[in-house]
A and B are shown apart, each in its own frame.
Chain A
Amino acid sequence: MELTDLTISQIHKGFIGKDFSALDLTDAYLKRIEKLNKKIFAFLSVFPNEARLQAKRADETINSTKNFPLLTGIPIAIKDNILIEGQKCTSASKILENYIAPYNATVIEKLSRQGAVFLGKTNLDEFAMGSSTENSAFGPTRNPLDEERVPGGSSGGSAAAVAGELACCALGSDTGGSIRQPASFCGVVGLKPTYGEVSRYGLMATASSLDQIGPFAKNVEDAKIVFKEIVGKDPLDSTSIDYKFIDSDFDIKNLKIGIPKEYFIKGIDKDVEKVIKEAINKIEKAGAKIEEISLPNTEYGLAAYYIIMPSEVSANMARYDGIRFGRTPEIKKESDLFSYYLSSREQGFGEEVRRRIMLGVYTLSAGYYDAYYLKAQKVRTLIREDFNKAFKKVDIILTPVSPTLPFKLGEKIKDPLEMYLSDIFTVSINLAGLPAMSIPAGQVGKLSVGLQIIGKPFDEKTIFNAGQKFQELL
């Protein structure tokens, strides 16, 4: 067994037993990155010196006490829209090509205090807009399970890093499926926490009412370990919530599961459907109670999302003016401020970011606000109420994560609407602010299919307990 195969608790035992050091482990990962990153391109930047220094510090802790945190010496990859002080943070955008993060995101502070080792920053769709990581200004990431195919997105680099064993675990961000869909495509576990549980301070904002940071891991237990350490109220994020994870006993025989009929419709790949239905059968045989439920406003989810999301994007992207952050393009001296904005944003932003800014500005503009934005916000209420009603009857809801298998590079990039449809099963969860996790449910050839476990707000414990059990069954 290689060191890079080990889970967090296996590593922890290894550290306690002095079977290997934190530096051995970090070096093992750095070696794999050196060997494989050229092909997979999970990382935009790697920090060998800093990582080795952090590993040495972790070894000092390990050697001086028996009681050290579970994340001490654990090599983690971070999506490149989360700030690590003193390191480049690009959000995979040309406009931030040379931007150096002036401070740490709160999640980075929290993981640092645990003694985690940061291996590097992972690739993403520019400013987290996309479902394939092909929208990165620096080149696409490839799916380690099949390099002809995309890893999903927008946190494709983080998912690929964990799947390819280039990192033990990783952080991503999820605005409309950006953790769950790549986790599904790469065959790893990925959690989008309840909105507000994890501070967004130091996460570059995409759509502020939807964004949430969450973990990628090899298995459910590891995802839980990382999740527990990044949650909590943060005075630097006024939308963060006072939350602490408390575990409880679990018996699958007491678990009531809802299967929404609106998520099993035509258009879903029949191989995906088969894997998910087989998984549900196995879960039912193990004793869980399964019932069909209805989320009647599901069909409006994607349209509402692709109004609300770009609207918030158009406001959040306004800060990239070519003046305050990073790159200033070569523009003629005599040009005025207005032309300066136009040129720097034309040169700095990629196609998808420009498309969403345009869409958002349109749906917020005078004369269209009521018809699009306000309407979408009302539909958002309907979608939330659908889930509220369903959760009066059931504990969790199971659906596929993605309607298709991982697609080939280039397959959908020319048709934006086709790409948006990849998110059809994940966006409503963000609109409602709910927690949801993707776990591998089975394979089609060498490709993986993810099962989405949706929970009540702040009820990650049921998601983890159920996920743990399902992981044993599937």
Chain B
Amino acid sequence: MLSKEEVEHISKLARLGISKEEKKKFQKELSSILDYMEKLKKADVSNIKPTSHSVLAENEVRTDEPKGKNEELAKRLADAANDKKEGFIRVKAVF
């Protein structure tokens, strides 16, 4: 069973606020899901390479050049943020 402290630690790493009741619920639920994952212990993976991508694609590269301005799109992208000023998005102080 995951401890309360572990759940709190994960929630901080995940930047996810959780309530007191939810902490208990997550302890129980995550533990039962992780118990199910124990199945994998039986799988023999010695000398097996991991797959991160099903289709073995090569890395795609291109020169890092601007492809012309699309100010209309830039404006729409910025508009998605709620708190903005003169094309900038305003956030709380980082430091």
Contacts and interface: CB of A to CB of B under 8 A. Distances in A.
Given A196-B55, A376-B40, A377-B50, A365 B13 contact: yes
A378 B6 CA distance: 26
Interface stretch (A131-139, A356-364, A400-408): A356-364
A137 to B, nearest CB: 16
Interface in A269-305: 297, 299-300, 302-304
Is chain A's binding surface mostly helix, strand, loop or mixed? helix
Contact of A380 (B13, B32, B34, B50): B50
Contacts of A457: 55
A196 B33 contact: no
A303 B43 CA distance: 11
A416 interface: yes
Contact of B14 (A196, A357, A379, A431): A357
B69 interface: no
A355 B29 contact: yes
Given A377-B50, A380-B50, A417 B36 contact: yes
Interface stretch (A66-74, A144-152, A179-187, A320-328): A320-328
Given A327-B82, A358-B14, A377-B51, A336 B36 contact: no
B83 interface: yes
B91 A337 contact: yes
Given A196-B57, A299-B39, A365-B13, A354 B29 contact: no
B54 A355 contact: no
Interface residues of B, number: 49
A354 B11 CA distance: 9
B81 A324 contact: yes
B17 A100 contact: no
Given A102-B76, A416-B33, A354 B16 contact: yes
A337 B79 CA distance: 21
A325 B17 CA distance: 18
B60 A238 contact: yes
Shortest 3 CB-CB contacts between residues of A and residues of B:
A433-B54, A346-B17, A377-B50
Interface of B: 2, 6-7, 10-11, 13-19, 22, 26, 29-30, 32-34, 36-37, 39-40, 42-43, 45, 48-55, 57, 60, 73, 76-77, 79-83, 89, 91-94
Interface of A: 99-100, 102-103, 194-196, 209, 238-239, 241, 297, 299-300, 302-304, 306-307, 314, 318, 321, 323-328, 335-338, 340-343, 345-347, 349, 354-355, 357-359, 361-362, 365, 372, 374-382, 384, 416-417, 420, 430-434, 457
